[in-house]
Amino acid sequence: MSTLQSTDHLIERLREAGYKLTPARLAVLKVINSDDHAHLNPTDVLAQARKIYPKLGRATVYRALELLTELRILRPIYMGETTPRFIRAEGGHHHLVCNECGEVIEFAECMAGDLSQSLQEEFGFEIGSHLLEFYGRCRACK
């Protein structure tokens, strides 16, 4: 089952935080909401969002991604790169990352469930999402 929130829900989160919904922000929201497993860098977002709003500029994409990160709609991940990629903040994300070629393999099996429950009970901390990454060498590089 998908963890995507509706675009309408994301729009409402922007408005509740006091931000206007501009055509540029709407285009970025639609792109990041199109796939809950996407690992998009700003260039990817720009290319896809320009199909929705052709006047969109690079700086506007960076500002929108920064805002969506502040609102905890997106989460930056680096995976051995200098430029972040962005993933949806809710739910769990699980990756195998090759230190040599940079390949990223996303896997669905969540092994953090018992650990999350234990941490919540021990520390009284409500966990809303998590990121689990294992680094090493992929099949082709070893």
Instruction: Summarize pLDDT for 116-142 with one digit per residue, the tens.
Output: 888 888 999 988 777 777 889 999 998
Residue 2 lies in a domain: no
**What is the pTM for the complete model shown?**
0.70
Are 83 and 14 in the same domain?
yes
Q: What is d(CA 1, CA 124) in angstroms, rounded to the nearest whole number?
A: 28
Are 63 and 111 in the same domain?
no
Query: What pLDDT was estimated at residue 32?
Result: 84
Residue 20 lies in a domain: yes
Query: What pLDDT was estimated at residue 5?
Result: 58
pLDDT tens sequence across 53-99: 999 999 999 999 999 999 988 888 876 667 888 877 776 677 788 88
Are 12 and 68 in the same domain?
yes
Are 15 and 34 in the same domain?
yes
Are 58 and 121 in the same domain?
no
Q: What is d(CA 110, CA 33) in angstroms, rounded to the nearest whole number?
A: 22
Q: Give how many domains the chain has, as a whole number.
A: 2
Residue type for 60, please?
T
Are 32 and 82 in the same domain?
yes
Partner residues linked to 92 by β-bridges: 130
Are 29 and 72 in the same domain?
yes
Range from 14-18, 38-42, 60-64, 127-131 carrying the lowest mean pLDDT: 127-131
3-state helix/strand/coil string of the chain: CCCCCCHHHHHHHHHHCCCCCCHHHHHHHHHHCCCCCCCECHHHHHHHHHCCCCCCCHHHHHHHHHHHHHCCCEEEECCCCCCCEEEECCEEEEEEEECCCCCEEECCCCCCHHHHHHHHHHHCCCCCEEEEEEEECCCCCC
Residue 107 lies in a domain: yes
Q: CA gyration radius for the chain? A: 17
Q: Domain span at residue 24?
A: 7-88
